[in-house]
Amino acid sequence: MTEYVFLNGEYVDITKASLPVRTHAFLYGTAVFEGIRAYWNEDEKQLYAFRVPEHYERLLRSAKIMYMESPYTVEEYCKITRDLLAKNNYKEDAYMRPTLYKSAQKVGPGLYDNPDSFLIISNKMGDYIDTSKGLKVCVSSWRRNSDNAIPPRAKVAGGYANAALIKTDAHYAGFDDAIVLDEAGQVTEGSAMNLFLVQNGKLVTTMKTDNILIGITRNTIIELAKDILGLEVEERAIDRTELYISDEAFYCGTGAQVSPIVNIDNRILGDGTVGPVAKELQKIYFDVVKGRVPKYKKWCMPVY
């Protein structure tokens, strides 16, 4: 069966899709992107893409920071995404990577005199991280890039070299992932996902101005925690040692979904198993993304 990508305004057989080797984005990381998930609902025989407009609104914000002009509106992006999923005829969970990139064939880092192009790749995708068991993580020796260097609020391809170093060093040290501090020593997030702590029945997470990606899943978790579980959510600066004495911790993100953490720097959280708040939020989240919760079905774009 032919698998399609969207490239230069057309749906193209992935085996025939290519970019010139001098493409600026390849040479300099000058691309902005999103990660979007679609979830298969077996009962309804429907594929739901989750919070698609919000992802493209963020893509446009990233593009503005990077001197990029968008070739499409949010509504047009949503239609392209739906059509691509339908053409690939997914009947299981899937993942999409829309990318707006600088496509000049030139050497030199400048973003000027440099046209913008757009593509989407998609593929079948289950759990990026095993969400059924708790993660063992460390605090990374690397620091998160700051808003005055490569702004984390923009999903810039080149900025993910930071995440790559963080994730890889954690792996070689025997951990599943790493929590990252900023240059001032304050907690930011995971290698490429947002972080929540549970302290005395309250959710605690870093602020939008703490050199983090302002996550779509983060916003989702905050709303669900308040609305369904009635939890207080506190957004504030977090010290490193707070990580060790929290009752629970978990990552969230499009790829990570809701991924509980049970061990940080060889300190066991709680009793060393997935905590009750993370477990409940995980269940609620998976029901929401599959279109099973009527109030939040507005977040789910049907494909078929």
- What is the rounded average pLDDT for all residues in the chain? 97
pLDDT digit string (tens) for 228-247?
999 999 999 999 999 999 99
Q: Is 155 considered catalytic here?
A: yes
Catalytically annotated residue among 102, 136, 155, 167: 155
CA 283/CA 33 separation, integer angstroms: 28
Res 128: pLDDT: 67
Domain boundaries, the chain: 4-124, 135-289
In this model, does residue 125 exceed pLDDT 90?
no
pLDDT digit string (tens) for 131-185?
778 999 999 999 999 999 999 999 999 999 999 999 999 999 999 999 999 999 9
Fold of 135-289: D-amino Acid Aminotransferase; Chain A, domain 2 (3.20.10)
The H helix count followed by the E strand count for the chain is: 7, 17
Rounded to an integer, the average pLDDT of 196-223 is 98
Q: Which residues contact 250 (CB under 8 A, 6 or more apart)?
A: 195, 196, 258, 259, 260, 261, 278, 281, 282
Res 1: pLDDT: 85
Fold of 4-124: D-amino Acid Aminotransferase; Chain A, domain 1 (3.30.470)
Do 258 and 269 meet the contact criterion of CB atoms below 8 Å apart? no
Do the first three CATH levels of 4-124 and 135-289 match, i.e. the same topology? no
Task: State pTM to two decimals.
Answer: 0.96
